[in-house]
Amino acid sequence: IGYGRKYTCASQLAFHLRRPYDVHGQNLLGLSGLQYGYWADLPRLAGKDAVVVVEGSAHLGAAEALLKRHFQAVEPAGTLEVPVGRRPLHPEPPLRFAFFRGRGYRPPAAGPDKP
């Protein structure tokens, strides 16, 4: 599951892993995930485990709360910092990602993508 700004985190994962149907967006957590809402068969995913990638530290608290609602158990699994850009003046801050293991997925009753 990719969780972050809009749908970009999940899209980047799907592209680089070359497994678009194995990567899901934040719609699995009851949030809008644009086209990802059409790809996921939530009942089929019930009870499965997931690796969750959270983009940015600003989303971390909200993400952990959502994960705990939608998984039976949640375990932190590390962090990663990725440098961005090459501007010597006014450099961009690096992107930060946090990883979690979610065990025993519990789908939302009805999400915004699928009423």
Q: How many CB atoms lie within 10 A of CB 107?
A: 20
pLDDT at 11: 84
State the Cα–Cα distance between residues 98 and 55, nearest whole angstrom: 7
Model confidence at 48, pLDDT cuts 50, 70, 90, reads: very high
pLDDT at 41: 85
Structure tokens at 101: 């293991």
Distance of CA 53 to the CA centre of its chain: 5
State the Cα–Cα distance between residues 88 and 67, nearest whole angstrom: 38
State the Cα–Cα distance between residues 70 and 29, nearest whole angstrom: 6
Q: Which residue has the higher pLDDT, 37 or 99?
A: 99
**For 68-85, how does the pLDDT look when each residue is reduced to its tens digit (9 = 90+)?**
999 999 999 999 998 888
pLDDT at 93: 87
State the Cα–Cα distance between residues 57 and 71, nearest whole angstrom: 21
Average pLDDT, the chain: 85
Evaluate if residue 115 carries a pLDDT over 80: no
pLDDT at 113: 45
State the Cα–Cα distance between residues 20 and 62, nearest whole angstrom: 25
